[in-house]
Structure 1
C-alpha cells in the first residue's frame, strides 16, 4: 500500500459541514494477510450515516463489523475505496490528520468502557480535551449531569456500576461535540434494563444533537432503537 502523505488541516479552522452524510464509505475494501493468504474483512462496501440517524450493524463474529467501525473511525485505513467525513475525502490522511479529524468529528464508546481507573468521572470525561484550549470542566460536568450522574462526578470507575461506567464513557465520547458516535457492543456488558436505558440515551443524543450513531452489536435490542439495520456477512453488506 502506498504511504499516506496528505498534510493535516489546521486545528483551529475546521471545514464547513455540508448537508449530507456525516460519514460515508464508497467501495471500501480492507484486506489482511494471514498465514500466507489474503482475507477481505470488508469487500467493496458502500455505507453512509446521516446526522441524527441511528444505524445498527449486525452479523456473525468475523463478519467485518469491527473493521467497519475502525475504518469509519479512522483507526484503520482501507486497502481500496474512499472514506468521507462531512463530505470531505479523508482516505489519504496521514496519522496526524486522522487524529485531528477524529478529535473534531468522532466520539467512541467501547464495550469495555476504557476508563482510567485512578481518575474520577469528571476527569475521565476530560481525557479527550487534553489538547483543547480553555476550561472544559463545566462541559464535562454538564454532560455527566445530562446522563444522570450529577451525584457521581467525583467517583472513580470502581465506585460505579456497569451502567454508570457506560454513561461516563458516553459523556466522554460527547465532550468534543462530535458529529459521529461509534459504539462497539454498547449493551454487551449490561443487564437488559440498563442496556435499554443506554440506548434511550443514544436515541436522545441522536435526535437532539443531530449526531449520527453507528452501533456494532450482537444484541437484537439495539435494533429496536435504530432507524436502520445493516447486516454484514463475510465482509459484504447484505
Structure 2
C-alpha cells in the first residue's frame, strides 16, 4: 500500500491565450511508507504544482489521488483540510513561523483547536531536534537551521503519514542542510513517507529515489516493481452508507 499516490494526474490552469497551461501532464506518482523521494527539475517544470496536488492544497483537473489507498480526488474543502491535518505534514522553504510565538508555541500551533495541550509533545519534538534549550525563543532569536528544525517539528506534531518539503535546504549552508536531511532520515525510519522538491544535489544524495519533472511530465514516479491496487477504497465523497 502506498502512502500517497497519483494516477494519470493532469493539472491545467487558464492561460493568457486560447490554450490552458498544463502544469502536470498525465502523472503517475507513488511513495511508500518509510521512503524518501526527491523531485527534481528546472524552474517552471511543475514541481510546486505537484507538491500542492499531493498535499491536497489543489485538486487535479483529471486523474486520481489516493491517500493510504483511499481515493481523495474530489474532497470538499473541509474534507481536504481534515485529511491534511490527519495525514500530511508540510515543511516550507521560508519556514512560515509566526514571529510573535515562541518555538514551542509555533510547533504546537496546528493543534490549537484540538482538545488538550500539545505543549509537552512540541517540547519533546524540539528536544529531539536539538532545540531543547530554545523552547522559549522567538524566530528572530534563532538561526536559519534552527528555524528549519522548528518547521520540521511543527510538521510532525500531528504524527503524519506523509511529510512534504519544498526546497528544505534552499536557504541553508551545507553543514546545516546535512543535519536537516539527517532528521528526514530519522523520520522515514519511523515509517513516514518523505517527498522533497529540490534543486539541491545534496538532497538527491540522501533520497532513496530521485524522480524528474520536466514540462509537467514526470519520469520515475512509481517505485520499480510497484503495482497499482485494482480498486481504491472509497473516499468520503464515494463511501456508501454501510462504509460510514
TM-score, length basis structure 2: 0.89
SS of the counterpart of 1:124?
helix
Provide, for residues 66-106 of structure 1, a one-character-per-residue CA deviation record: whole Å limited to 9, x for no partner.
10000000000100000000100000100000000000000
In the alignment, is residue 222 of structure 1 matched against residue 206 of structure 2?
A: no
SS of the counterpart of 1:103?
helix
Structure 1 runs of 4+ off > 2 angstroms? none
In the alignment, is residue 127 of structure 1 matched against residue 103 of structure 2?
A: no
Provide, for residues 7-58 of structure 1, a one-character-per-residue CA deviation record: whole Å limited to 9, x for no partner.
xxxxxxxxxxxxx111000000000112023111000000001110000000
In the alignment, is residue 24 of structure 1 matched against residue 9 of structure 2?
A: no
Q: What is the CA-CA distance between 1:133 and the residue it aligns to?
A: 1.4
Q: What is the CA-CA distance between 1:237 and the residue it aligns to?
A: 1.0
SS of the counterpart of 1:224?
helix
In structure 2, the residue matched to 1:4 is none
Matches within 5 A, 1:1-238: 20-36=1-17, 37-207=19-189, 209-238=190-219
Unpaired stretches in structure 2, ≥5 consecutive residues? 220-244
Unpaired stretches in structure 1, ≥5 consecutive residues? 1-19
Root-mean-square deviation over aligned CA pairs: 0.6
TM-score, length basis structure 1: 0.91
In structure 1, the residue matched to 2:229 is none
CA distance in 2, matches of 1:50, 1:133: 31
Q: What is the CA-CA distance between 1:146 and the residue it aligns to?
A: 0.5
CA distance in 1, matches of 2:123, 2:114: 16
CA distance in 2, matches of 1:50, 1:137: 30
Q: What is the CA-CA distance between 1:191 and the residue it aligns to?
A: 0.4
SS of the counterpart of 1:100?
helix
Q: What is the CA-CA distance between 1:131 and the residue it aligns to?
A: 1.8
CA distance in 1, matches of 2:173, 2:58: 31
Q: What is the CA-CA distance between 1:132 and the residue it aligns to?
A: 1.5
CA distance in 2, matches of 1:122, 1:204: 20
CA distance in 1, matches of 2:50, 2:42: 13
